[in-house]
Amino acid sequence: MTDQELAIAVAETSPAMLWMGDALGRCVFLNSSLRRFWGVDPDALDQFDWSSTLHPDDVALLSQPFSEAMAAHTSFVVEARYRRADGIYRIMRTEANPRFGGDGTFLGMTGLNIDVTEQRDAEQKSLYLMGELNHRTKNLITVVMAIARATARSTEPDRFLETFSSRLAGLASSNDLLVAQDWTAVSMRDLVTSQFRTISMESDDRIAFDGPDFSVCPQHAQTVGMALHELATNSLKHGALSEPSGRLTVTWRSNDANQWRLEWRETVSRTLPAPVRRGFGHVVMVDMVERTVGKVDLRFEPQGVTWILEV
């Protein structure tokens, strides 16, 4: 086998997409990998115009470095989208070197095309995820700071750490559900029961859960989770979960119009006094929820607390 035959055999069997162009930029050789990519008949190579496969938006992107390299007889590297034989555009990285004859005459370019579509998509996804992470981290820090300030204002110093830690646990529980679902949506049942898990009450006989299993968007899940945690904590301290005969029902419903309703109803054997002031609990259970989720009806009735959310 001659050196020329060996070179052609290597090029033809290479998994890399190799090509050779003449001094006018026309293809004079495409190896089998690149012919398969473009769907080129090897017997009709002289009729193939590689520039016709360029994405219209990338023509200007490629033309300048290609023209400059052809004029100056220098190497060039450029990325652009090319239409594959099946009609799908792929991002190709082209690396080319000039080719010269024995007398120094410029003969054209020899190059390598690399499909970098998955790599670029992964980079874009990574940038998007980093931006989302940065945004969510800032939001989370803002919420934590608000919880800390409000807890400090409404709690005795010796109870601050316990109360603050409990509220953070409620927030973390909702975030754990969101992370497990890639921040797409959260099951309503999981959202409700997870908050009782933070106070070790998820299987208490005094609590009844009922409702279909539909999904809640991330923006709603975080806020509703905090409200549920506040309700559960208050119930454990002062309401239905503070006495053996207390009863608590949490029900949820959804209709076909993309509306849903969540109800929290407590029943106690004693008469409960109404709160004398609006503290941080009211901010979480009503103000925050109404600002970002839906309409809230909170009632401190003698027989127990009722909280209804309509979204």
Give the pLDDT score at 1: 64
Tens-digit pLDDT profile for residues 215-241: 998 888 888 998 999 899 889 988 999
| Higher pLDDT, residue 1 or 106 | 106
Lowest mean pLDDT among 17-26, 70-79, 150-159: 150-159
Pairing of strands 76-83, 89-100: antiparallel
Give the pLDDT score at 295: 96
Residues 6+ apart with CB under 8 A from 243: 268, 269, 270
| Higher pLDDT, residue 134 or 33 | 33
Question: Given a cut of 90, is residue 256 above it in pLDDT?
Answer: no
Q: How far apart are CA 90 and CA 55, in angstroms?
A: 9
Q: How far apart are CA 159 and CA 41, in angstroms?
A: 80
Residue range 178-185: mean pLDDT, rounded: 77
Give the pLDDT score at 163: 80
Mean pLDDT of the chain: 88
Tens-digit pLDDT profile for residues 112-127: 999 999 999 999 988 8
Answer whether 32's CB lies under 8 Å from 12's CB: yes
Helices (H), the chain: 3-13, 32-38, 59-72, 117-154, 160-180, 188-197, 218-238, 280-282, 289-292
Among the listed residues 271, 279, 280, the one whose alpha carbon sits nearest the alpha carbon of residue 300? 271
Question: Given a cut of 80, is residue 136 above it in pLDDT?
Answer: no
Give the pLDDT score at 231: 93
DSSP-derived secondary structure letter, 273: P
**What is the pTM (predicted TM-score) of this model?**
0.59
Torsion sign across C-alpha atoms 266, 268, 271, 273: negative
Give the pLDDT score at 152: 82
Give the pLDDT score at 15: 86
Q: How far apart are CA 83 and CA 91, in angstroms?
A: 9
**Using alpha carbons only, what angle is made at residue 173 by residues 255 and 190, rounded to the nearest 5 degrees?**
35
Give the pLDDT score at 308: 96
